[in-house]
Amino acid sequence: MSDFDDESTFEDTFFTISRSSDGLYKDRSSKFFYFSFPVKNEEEIKSHLAELRKKYYDARHHCFAWTLGKDADQFRANDDGEPNHSAGDPILGQIRSNNLTNILIVVVRYFGGNKLGMSGLIQAYKTSAAQAIEENEIIEEQVKAAVSIQFPYPVMNDVMKLIKTHDLQILAQEMTLDCQMQLEFRKGLEELIVSSLEEIEGLELTVI
């Protein structure tokens, strides 16, 4: 049996959340509205942050943390005016303790008139982030890879057989003088898929 026959050997999966969610945590008259979002890039993160700032324009603080990438090697934590490390880091800590990535958590605070102190703030933001995760659903996702292929009609059966065998997803296709497709599959299969496609006569391949 080759390594490709056992998909459990692939290190191409990660844990994230399945959907957007929100809720409210209160502590001594301060309100902490928390939000969690599954995200794939910084553009999505900026969009969510902008929408929340527009909707909750009168809030004193919009604190957040996010991670991106299979190994969560891209990340940021922001205190947004709260004392250093009292908000963003506790939020990020909850993301990491749940081994999550491709996630954004935002906690919007309305000050209630009573100061919570450093430990109180840390606890409030930590609890808000924890509830944002707890009230969502953690799922396992696969890192994806994709290729663009072009091939003559006579080898269509060979291509479709490969697509069916490895359950490849057709992202786009165009049938003109030749056939063109964009295929997506789990990253752990990339070497096998590319080498198998390259064996098909007349097929041209580009890794996207």
Which fold is adopted by the domain 13-140?
Ribosomal Protein S5; domain 2 (3.30.230)
| CATH no., domain 143-207 | 3.30.70.240
Point out which residues pair with 32 in neighbouring strands.
25, 109
* Tens digit of each residue's pLDDT (9 = 90 or more) over 65-82: 999 998 999 999 999 999
Q: Is the pLDDT of residue 6 over 60?
A: no
The segment(s) of the chain belonging to CATH 3.30.70.240 are 143-207
Residue showing tokens 């303790």: 97
Residue with tokens 């954004």: 104
CA atoms in the 13 A half-sphere facing the CB of 6: 5
Find tokens 């958590």 and name the residue.
105
Place of tokens 């696969």: 142
Tell me the pLDDT tens digit for each residue of 83-131. 999 999 999 999 999 999 999 999 999 988 778 888 999 999 999 999 9
The answer, as to whether pTM is greater than 0.85, is no
Query: CATH 3.30.230.30 spans which residues of the chain?
Result: 13-140
Q: Please, what is the angle between helix 190-198 and helix 156-165, to 10°? A: 160
Say which residues have a Cβ less than 8 Å from residue 49's Cβ, sequence separation at least 6: 62, 64, 104, 106
- Rounded-to-integer distance, Cα 170 and Cα 35, Å: 33
For residue 54, which of 106, 99, 96 has the smallest C-alpha distance?
106
> What whole-number distance in Å separates Cα of residue 124 and Cα of residue 205?
52
Paired tokens of 133: 């995760």
56 or 208, higher pLDDT: 56
